[in-house]
Amino acid sequence: MKALVKAWAEPGIWCQDEPVPTIGAGEILVKVSKTGICGTDIHIYNWDDWAKRTVPVGTILGHEFAGVVVDRASDVRNVEIGQRVSAEGHLIGGGSRASRAGRFHLDPDTQGIGVTVAGAFAEYVKLPAFNAVPLPDAIDDEIGAILDPLGNAVHTALSFDLVGEDVLITGAGPIGIMAAAVARHVGARHVVITDINPERLALAARVADVTPVDVGREDLRDVMGRLGMREGFDVGLEMSGAPPAFDQLLDCLVMGGRIALLGLPSAKVPLDIGRIAFRMLTLKGIYGREMFETWHKMLAMLETGLDVRGVVTHRIKADDYRFGFETMAAGRSGKIVIDWN
């Protein structure tokens, strides 16, 4: 089968022939229809320090996907052959205290499809049936292929009550934009998203009912004044991983404000604990999705009017994968979906 592989310990990704995976007990085989390129894939493509520490050379990449189940082990009962699925890409170890208590997303022994084990940038992928997420008829394969990052956005946005609240999102990447759409969908009052990339800010304005702010050109406090916000934002969603953005977020929150942190900085960030303590701020770290409550909530929102399709800006064939990776790495896109049919 055709697959995109981290074949060498250097920047790049290579298309090569790989054997179709052989399933074992509890596993299913999925014929991949569409995949999404993730920021994690760009880290691996660039072969940065994190990727060097984490990704085994020779791994088939890709963890955002939708497809059809074409085979299952004899002991699998909850997934049918012919069923359309997406999947939770975190493979739990199952032996930790958190996992045994049903808090699967907190399992420290988690592996990642397309990161530490063979992934979905291929014509076929195998995975535990436990991780499969059946797709309702109303959710097509393109949306199914971006449920993983949408789940990041949902997990982050729903960390705190947003009804009637003023929300600041730092970072207008695809996940930040989808988080903005989620915040509006669940009843936030003002949603402001900041970045220094005008193309992504324009995309945010097209996808969601938000106020985009280019902080390289506009003072965020002037925007707050125009919106009638006397004290500051109630909730901050940090999606950029940029230390200046986080610093500005801290300055613009109300006393007792709440922050959900999804963005990953490329290096250690100095933190003034006093600013957090004296202003009684709450910080919550976010990684992945809650298994499987986040999946339930995002599917329900998609079926009741949440529209994030506009975040997909490029649709390409598998043979054009280099264009997709280069475009996303340059910040010239939203989500890029690869068609494997």
Residues that are catalytic: 40, 43
Residue 302: C-alpha distances to residues 75, 144, 150, 184, 312 (Å): 32, 11, 10, 13, 15
Structural contact between residues 314 and 327, judged by C-beta atoms closer than 8 angstroms: yes
Query: Both tokens of residue 237?
Result: 């969603």
The SS3 call for residue 279 is coil
Q: How far apart are CA 111 and CA 89, in angstroms?
A: 8
Which amino acid, 49? D
Residue 107: C-alpha distances to residues 90, 111, 224, 242 (Å): 10, 10, 40, 27
> Is it true that the peptide bond before 292 is cis, omega within 30 degrees of 0?
yes
For every residue of 3-34, DSSP letters joined together read EEE--SSSS--EEEE-PPPPP-TTEEEEEEEE
Structural contact between residues 118 and 126, judged by C-beta atoms closer than 8 angstroms: yes
- The sign one gets for the Cα dihedral 148, 153, 159, 160 is negative
191-195 and 167-170 strand pairing: parallel
Structural contact between residues 151 and 298, judged by C-beta atoms closer than 8 angstroms: yes
Find the helix or strand (DSSP H, E) in which 134 lies: strand 132-134
For every residue of 158-208, DSSP letters joined together read TTS--TT--EEEE--SHHHHHHHHHHHHTT-S-EEEEES-HHHHHHHHHHS
Of 326, 325, 321, 327, nearest to 340 by C-alpha is 321
Q: How far apart are CA 257 and CA 236, in angstroms?
A: 8
